[in-house]
Amino acid sequence: MEENSRRGVPADLHAMTHGQLSELIKSLGQPQFRVKQIEEWVWEKNARSFDDMTNLPKSLREELAKVVTLGGVKQLAAQTSVDGSRKYLLQFPDGVAVECVGMPSKNRLTVCVSTQAGCGMGCAFCATGASGLTRSLTSGEIYEQVMHVRDDFNTRVTSVVFMGQGEPFMNYNNTLAAMRKLNSPEGAGIGARHLTVSTCGVIPMILKFANEPEQFTLAVSLHSAVQKTRDFLMPGVQKYSLLHLYDAMGEYVDKTGRRPTYEYALIKGVNDTNEELDYLREFCRDTLAHVNIIQLNAVPGSKFQPSTPERAQDFVRELGKVGVEATIRNSRGADIDAACGQLKQRMMRGRR
Ligand code: SAH
Ligand code: SF4
């Protein structure tokens, strides 16, 4: 069962396994082929109401509506960036709201989803971290964000990044269940390699993830290869030392043969010094890792400022000299508060 199913709230069809739905259909005295029909409506067509399920008898639709819900996210706000990205603030039936973003390019549509409302890891540079954790999302709630964006763009989703609010590896089972559904041909049918989960470095779960059979992609937020700096920037993962992380990532690469990404947001005067660059180079050299140098999104009221674009280029060049592949990732939708948590913060302050 879901880690997070809430007592007293009717079960959401998105959170039910195939077996559970099959049981329900049996208990309603219906033939099993209805299960497939219902799953098509839920996972492929993203039906918003039982009345949409036109190939089911009306009596069954009415019975289903009595015992299960169809999720039902409400769009509280949306913003469109000049680059075409769209950011949404979506609310679930219990009032909790999260963000997700759709980023179109040529024939592709990438969706960035949240795995928790808020986050308990407390990273110093992150808007989400500032307000703490409200709750983890169910797998259905994670999946629904992707479908909401798909329906709004009215096009197929080609990849999903789990880089919105929350720490996916503090909500491991539900995140994995959502990834599997997104991957499955009966769900969104998105290739496993195009599903990227980003973690701040919860080591036991990195090791668990290495043993999953699918070819999912892993990104780790590194932000500093100096223990003292990383402890200060990312207090939530202090107990997992960099040495430990280094070994865990070695094990991940050995097991999977897949190239992980390290995310590194350059913060002026904090993790962009020559000493920091030296440590980063040593941490990454002779590993398979790819480094994503990110422009820090300035969070209102934060003491942290982004480094200059020239400094980002220095990092890429110096990493390249020792054979470490690095690229500068453009922060999409920077003009629409695309940094983690910022749209929500603005909404809450009522300043839209
Ligand atoms: N909790 C996960 C995934 C969500 S955060 C994680 O930390 O990896 C997604 C990415 O955004 C992470 O790499 C995170 O470090 C980064 N991030 C958070 N705040 C940021 C900011 N103000 N500017 C740039 N990147 C930021
Ligand atoms: Fe949580 Fe990731 Fe933000 Fe850190 S960066 S507070 S882990 S969402």
pLDDT in tens, 105-136: 888 999 999 999 999 999 999 988 888 999 99
Which is the closest atom of ligand 2 to the Cα of 116? 8
Residue 300 CA to residue 345 CA, distance in Å, equals: 10
The percentage of the chain sitting over the pLDDT mark of 70, rounded to a whole number, equals: 91
Q: Which residues face 292 on adjacent strands? A: 263, 327
User: 80 forms bridges with which residues in the sheet?
Assistant: 86
Is residue 119 annotated as a catalytic residue, yes or no? no
List pocket residues of ligand 1, CB cut-off 6 Å: 125-126, 163, 167, 198-200, 221, 263, 265, 294, 296-297, 299, 339-340
- Residues 142 and 174: beta-carbon distance below 8 Å: yes
Query: Averaging pLDDT over each range in 75-79, 228-232, 348-352, which range is the top one?
Result: 228-232
Residue 316 reports pLDDT greater than 90: yes
pLDDT at 333: 55
Average the pLDDT over 62-67 and give the result: 92
**In 10 A of CB 158, how many CB atoms?**
16
pLDDT at 211: 97
Ligand 2 atom with the shortest distance to the CA of 166: 8
Q: Does pTM surpass 0.85?
A: yes
Q: Which helix (H) or strand (E) holds 206?
A: helix 203-210
- Cα of 16 vs centre of ligand 1, distance in Å, is 30
* Cα–Cα distance measured from residue 247 to residue 163, given in angstroms and rounded to the nearest whole number: 24
Give the whole-angstrom CA distance, residue 352 versus residue 349: 8
pLDDT of residue 334: 56
Structure tokens at 324: 């470490």
Ligand 1, atom nearest to 331 Cα: 24
Read off the pLDDT of each residue in 177-202 and give the average, rounded to a whole number: 94
Which pLDDT score, from 0 to 100, does residue 352 have?
30
- CA of residue 265 to ligand 1 center, whole Å: 8
Give the closest residue (by CA) to ligand 2 atom 4: 123
In sequence order, what E strands does the chain have? Answer: 11-12, 68-69, 74-80, 86-91, 97-105, 108-112, 116-118, 133-136, 159-162, 195-199, 217-221, 261-266, 290-295, 325-329
Greater pLDDT, 86 or 348: 86
| pLDDT (0 to 100) of residue 346 | 47
Q: CA 256 to CA 279: how far, in whole Å?
A: 25
- Is residue 351 over pLDDT 70? no
Nearest CA to ligand 1 atom 18: 126
- Looking at residue 340, what is its pLDDT? 45
pLDDT at 337 over 70: no
Residue 156 pLDDT greater than 70, yes or no: yes
- Cβ-based neighbours of 302, under 8 Å, separated by 6 or more: 125
d(CA 332, CA 86): 10
At 342, the pLDDT band (50, 70, 90 cuts) reads: low
* 99 assigned to active site: yes
Residue nearest to atom 12 of ligand 1 (CA): 221
In angstroms, what is the span from residue 220 Cα to ligand 1's centroid? 10
Most confident of 5-14, 69-78, 220-229: 220-229
Instruction: Encode pLDDT of 236-272 as tens digits.
Output: 999 999 999 999 999 999 999 999 999 999 999 999 9
Buried b (16+ CB within 10 A) or exposed e, 38-58: bbebbbeebbeebeebeebee
Other beta carbons within 10 Å of 275: 10
**Which structure tokens are listed for 48?**
């918003």
**pLDDT score of 331:** 62
Looking up tokens 């991940």, which residue turns up? 252
What DSSP element (H or E) covers 328? strand 325-329
Among 172, 230, 340, which is best to mutate for testing ligand 2, by the most ligand atoms less than 8 A from CB? 340
Q: Give the C-alpha separation, 316 to 303, whole Å.
A: 25
Q: What is the mean pLDDT of the chain?
A: 89
Q: Which of 9-23, 58-72, 216-230 has the lowest mean pLDDT?
A: 9-23
138-148 per-position pLDDT tens digit: 999 999 999 99
- For residue 180, what pLDDT is reported? 95
Ligand 2 centroid to Cα of residue 345, in Å, is 15
Q: Looking at the CA of 306, which ligand is closest?
A: 1
Mean pLDDT of all residues in 39-43: 89
In the numeric block, which tokens belong to residue 271? Answer: 């993790």
